[in-house]
Amino acid sequence: MATAAAAPDLEPASSFLRRRWLSGQLFPYALITPSVAVIAGVLAFPLGMLVWLSLQHYGLRELIAHQGEWVGLGNYQAILADPLFRQVIFRSLAFTFTCVALTILLSTLIALLLLKVRRAVSVVVMSALVFVWATPVIVTVDIWQWMFDYEFGVINYLLTQLHLGNFIHHNWFDNPVQGLGVLVLVVVWGAIPFVTITVFAGLLQVPGELLDAAEVDGAGPWQRFRFVTAPMLKPIFLIVTCLSTIWDFGVFNQIYVLLNQRPSADYYTIAIYSYRESFGVSQYGLGATIAVLMVLVLIVVTLFYVRETVRQAEIA
């Protein structure tokens, strides 16, 4: 009796699933499950661990004992009250803004130039860009370090030879503003290839007829770029700006290597600060807290781009 009564209830449920499956409503979820599992494994799990770590006092002793001490939001209170942290956040944001603005501007100019030059020239420029891109960051930063070296650097030598002033024994990192300027140069130099090649690829997709029509209507070069090219490239600009912001906000290698692994507090960006607290003074809980705050700031900063990108995708 009982089975007879239960059977009619079960039957519709399984056929419901089958119907959904066949009509394609569940199939996409099945397809996406493996990648969601991988992302959860390699991103969500470490991020969760980071948040968990940030809620504990976790020094070297706790690391050896494999057991932290729960402090709730204590680390967050300590960091937010630290005046150094506010300086670091401000410096990181200013540094990121400068780097991203310069990267996008210069890359767009180079990409536009590539459209105009002869094929042989554009091949040479593209190859150079790919070389820059392909060289490991540590290697390039080491070379930059030698070029800007106080005693043996070729930059000081060249500037002096060109009679642009006496740069013998000029210390580029003496004054933090100038030193950060050098770092902006190194970061932007390394970021240009990716953005240029991406924007260039986008430019190739802009229909020639549209530009011709605009020209016939009397639009000058700037107007053609402003009203025809730029709107068509908007999705590309959004994505490269978003990625550049994320990369530049987390800048670490360039600063750490260029300043001999011992950057002074004047050069702390948020990633360096987090690393210092974690591995420098073995306060892993505090370091994790800074890293979590870094992610939060980054989410706020990039929210605009992400929203715009999603909107663009919906329009398309």
Q: For other proteins, which residue of 173, 194, 237, 249 counts as binding (CB under 8 A)?
A: 173
> Can you tell me the distance from the alpha carbon of 217 to that of 9, in angstroms, rounded to the nearest whole number?
70
Regarding 65 and contact with other proteins (CB under 8 A), the answer is yes
The only residue of 30, 66, 83, 134 in contact with other proteins, by rule CB under 8 A: 66
The region of 34-42, 62-70, 121-129, 134-142 touching other proteins under the rule CB under 8 A is: 62-70
- Which residue is associated with the tokens 């459209």? 115
Contacts of 153 (CB under 8 A, 6+ apart): 146, 147
Residue (61 or 307) nearer to other proteins, CB? 61
Length of the chain: 316
Shortest Å distance, C-beta 53 to other proteins: 14
Of the listed pieces 95-103, 118-126, 254-262, 298-306, which binds other proteins according to CB under 8 A? 254-262
CA angle 104, 109, 115 (to 5 degrees): 125
Q: Is residue 182 classed as helix, strand or coil in its secondary structure?
A: helix
Helix axes 284-315, 230-249, angle to 10 degrees: 170
CA distance 228 to 130: 28
Shortest separation between residue 252's beta carbon and other proteins, angstroms? 13
Pairing label, strands 56-57, 69-70: antiparallel
Helix (H, G, I), strand (E, B), or coil: what is residue 38?
helix
CA 216 to CA 214: how far, in whole Å?
5
Question: Phi-psi region for residue 115, left (φ > 0), alpha (ψ -120 to 50) or beta?
Answer: alpha
Q: Which of residues 81-120 bind other proteins (CB under 8 A)?
A: none
Q: What is the per-residue binding string for other proteins in 129-168, x denoting contact by CB under 8 A?
A: ---------------------xx----------------x
Q: Which positions from 262 to 281 touch other proteins by CB under 8 A, shown as an x/- string?
A: x-xx----------xx-xxx
- CB 275 to other proteins: min, Å: 9
Tell me the residue ranges of DSSP E strands in 42-181: 56-57, 69-70
Q: Which of 18, 20, 169, 307 binds other proteins (CB under 8 A)?
A: 169
Kindly state the number of chain residues that form the binding site for other proteins, as judged by CB under 8 A: 28
Stretch of 2-10, 114-122, 186-194, 261-269 contacting other proteins, by CB under 8 A? 261-269
Tokens found for residue 168: 């013998």
| Binding range to other proteins, per CB under 8 A, among 39-47, 63-71, 218-226, 237-245 | 63-71
The residue ranges that bind other proteins (CB under 8 A) are 59-61, 63-66, 78, 150-151, 168-169, 171, 173-174, 260-262, 264-265, 276-277, 279-283, 286
